[in-house]
Structure 1
Amino acid sequence: MSKITEAAITVAAIQMEPKIGETRANVTRSVELLEEAAEKGASLAVLPELCNTGYVFQSRAEARALAEPIPDGETVRAWAAAAHRRQLHLVAGITERDGEKLFNSAVIIGPEGLIGRYRKVHLWADEALYFTPGDLGFPVFDTPLGRIGCHICYDCWFPESFRLAALQGAEILCVPTNWVPIPGQDPKREAMANIIVMGAAHSNSVFVAAADRVGTERGQPFIGQSLIVSHTGWPVAGPASQDKEEILYATINLADARRKRNWNAFNQVLRDRRTDVYGEMLGSDHMPGWY
């Protein structure tokens, strides 16, 4: 297990515009943005969902042709080289191929290489035609920066995702995402996705760094509005713009997610759970609890 520090770190949520099928150009651009984030002091950076390939596939054959193995694919090697060069931790969305299966995945990479992977549990719309639902649960990774968990996009709509990560000791949830417009959205209000991650951060006492993409791909628009949220639920950076590449920065102490979890003399959100009424691990008892 890595030695855990409690120093403040700078987190970067990188909002970018991948181009479908242009993997090498997308990865090159992502590395440029990682370099920029590191130059401005970031210790942890988050990139969008499927940012190496683009998102709107026309067929499973196209998705498979663009998918890569982890950790031996060209994309992970490029990100690992950047992480090593800049002494950076990063979380980034990638189209993963594992034998005959494809996954909408994210990699967690540190200066010494791959730390782990996460596979999207809750698939959205046409993703079900191309990807297998994630089979790794909601792992939490001990790093020198703190305890890092990961969700991808639609996972955030499920309270269980955040709760299971928090119960395993996550201090920050990194969210590579490709948020799309929600029907009925009032343009004068914050995006529904922002409201959801703010509420989940508050009700689980975890930081959230959500990196969205921008642009329109094969007719599908994406909404941007990346943000970084405190363990209190209030944004500490963003939301970003709806239509341009942008990097958000926030300097935070991940240990605050644990040290400042009490809301008053009586209430602490994870301690106050009524485990006599519902299961401590929400039916996922194979996951170790830590809180």
Structure 2
Amino acid sequence: MLQYDPAEQSPGGFVVACVQMEPRVGAARDNVARAIARIETAASNGASLIVLPELANSGYVFADRDEAFALADSLPDGETAQAFDALARRLNIHIVTGIAERAGERLYNSALFTGPNGHIGVYRKLHLWDNEKRFFEPGDLGVPVFDTPLGRIAVAICYDAWFPETFRLAAMQGADLVCVPTNWVPMPAQPDDRPGMATTLTMAAAHSNGIAIACADRVGIERGQPFIGQSLIVGGDGWPLAGPASTDREEILYGVIDIHRTRSGRTLNSHNHVLRDRRADVYDPMLGTGWPTSRS
């Protein structure tokens, strides 16, 4: 569904689309084909950056590691990656999609980032949820931030959002936007009349770091595991630009990300800036990683 007016885009703005869909475990080629169709729809509606769910190629609830391994693909030269690379080139867009990555004998819950000029980078999920620990290795690439014509873009995956360090490290490296392929599941003690905990965490992370966040969730029930949908796009002030989406149907969310507004919005008033007010004399601004701070 369209939730923006293309005529109202500012010179510094671009449209991001979050594809909420239902991948099916074991149906890798069909999942990719359906994802490509939805990406083509989003691009035809003006999206420059399109985000797909976590493990969009393979499905999520694996019977065992052998099944996960069989459904994984190598990055950036595997069949699935090549298909998304070709699509991004053809449509002149950027794509972030969750993907099961095979690296030798190791498996990662990863995200592929590709654009009009081909492969941009890979992110590997840092924080593994529940049975993911049976199949995947913990991510070993840190929190990379990629320079693109759209702005500085980072990636996180699902449970990574439960850890404020993920977004803070992205923000301290100058990220403007974090793309989040995700497979959110119901949380314990979740009230029926409240949005998912993940949406609250996303809004809080965006506000406290002055960064936009685009979350593409999945829907459906896979091998008994329900997923909650509620994809959303949040501005750097923490308020939703689009969503949360429905809990039970496939749809595409659209929102305009204005990089200049995101950056200027970090100034909260004449005395406060959400990143410059950090007490670097009290705590390590890079959380002990030793990474350089690119901008604040």
Shorter-chain TM-score tier: over 0.9
The answer for the alignment partner of 2:282 in structure 1 is: 277
2:64 to 59, 67, 80: 59
**Secondary structure of the residue that 1:247 maps to in structure 2?**
strand
In structure 2, distance between residues paired with 1:116 and 1:288: 20
The answer for the alignment partner of 2:7 in structure 1 is: none
C-alpha contact (below 8 Å) 2:173/2:293 kept by paired residues: yes
1:205 maps to 2:222: no
The letter for the 2-side match of 1:270 is L
The letter for the 1-side match of 2:173 is Q
The answer for the alignment partner of 1:151 in structure 2 is: 156
**Secondary structure of the residue that 1:135 maps to in structure 2?**
coil
Q: Percent sequence identity over matched residues?
A: 59
The answer for the alignment partner of 1:105 in structure 2 is: 110
C-alpha contact (below 8 Å) 2:221/2:227 kept by paired residues: yes
Query: 1:84-110 CA distances to partner (integer Å, 9 max, x unpaired)?
Result: 111010100000000111000001100
1:181 maps to 2:182: no
Post-superposition offset of 1:286: 2.8
1:126 maps to 2:131: yes
C-alpha contact (below 8 Å) 1:6/1:255 kept by paired residues: no
The answer for the alignment partner of 2:259 in structure 1 is: 254
Query: 1:61-119 CA distances to partner (integer Å, 9 max, x unpaired)?
Result: 11111111011111111111111111010100000000111000001100111100000
1:70 maps to 2:75: yes
In structure 2, distance between residues paired with 1:156 and 1:264: 27
The answer for the alignment partner of 2:231 in structure 1 is: 226
1:26 maps to 2:27: no
The letter for the 1-side match of 2:239 is W
Post-superposition offset of 1:262: 0.4
In structure 1, distance between residues paired with 2:38 and 2:184: 20
C-alpha contact (below 8 Å) 2:237/2:265 kept by paired residues: no
The letter for the 2-side match of 1:48 is P
Query: 1:10-42 CA distances to partner (integer Å, 9 max, x unpaired)?
Result: 010110000001000000000000000000000
In structure 2, distance between residues paired with 1:99 and 1:255: 41
The letter for the 2-side match of 1:283 is G
Post-superposition offset of 1:126: 0.6
Aligned residues: 287
C-alpha contact (below 8 Å) 2:219/2:250 kept by paired residues: yes
1:172 maps to 2:208: no
Gaps of 5+ in 1: none
Post-superposition offset of 1:207: 0.3
1:41 maps to 2:46: yes
Q: CA RMSD in A?
A: 1.1
In structure 2, distance between residues paired with 1:27 and 1:254: 30
The answer for the alignment partner of 2:96 in structure 1 is: 91
In structure 2, distance between residues paired with 1:282 and 1:208: 21
